[in-house]
Structure 1
Amino acid sequence: MRDGQKVRLRGKGQTGPGGSSDLIVTVHVRPDPVFTREGDDLTVHVPVTVEEAALGAVITAPAPGGKIVKLRLKAGQEPGTRMRVKGRGVTTKKHTGNLYVIPQVQVPSELSEEAVEALRRFTELAHQPDVRADLLREAGV
């Protein structure tokens, strides 16, 4: 059921001279703490480590009904990329929606001096171009 959907219960309303009327019930769906819904599709944001995002990994994500799905996160996959799990969304009379898993990179809030040095060394070795250059060029800056 969708939030705001109305259900008609025939003959379950007030009784009057013409018999019982219909009762109209408006459904309000409580938001889920894990999944967001758009139509029959569900979306879940899954935290991943910097290492998993950079090197790739098999990650687990919650699915409806208390189940778990496993997905392969590609090395260097762009953060926020939607990964589709076909047929694991909301089931209706007509069809079943999809589950979309969106990996969210969790950057550590605290790093040891050794970890900071390792990241600096990684930056030197990666030879990554200016990641904001295209954005700034498009903005005319």
Structure 2
Amino acid sequence: MNKLDVTYHKGLDPQDVVEHFICAFNDKRLEVLNTLWSSPCTFIIKDQIKSYQKYSQAVNFSEIEKEGWKYTKIDSLSKEYSSNKTAIIEFSFSRYNAHDETLSKHTVKHILIKIKDLWRINTLLVIDDNDMGGIASE
């Protein structure tokens, strides 16, 4: 990991990491997304469990954009559990199109782990039954 990647999220608490994740997601900054997620990372969606070496292998922005997606916004966020090395953050978010119309709403949990003093998202657990097209869909 280079110095720029470390300074991007050094000192962030788990909730901040999730908020930075959404910002990097909206900007489609794969290199930043890869630093915010652990390697490997796991996705639990419905009855499927998938692992990827890097987050960038799990996301398909072309597929997401086919739905008309322009940006994602967090609707609510709460810390469900936190220790020195592990945290669970539950948050709801909405995907929007260019006209600020809601395309979909989702509730998920991120399990974060602390690696070398940096919080990283390790696991995505989807709480609702809505399809999250473009995420771990291959």
Shorter-chain TM-score: what band? under 0.3
Decide which structure has greater strand share: 2
TM-score (norm 2): 0.24
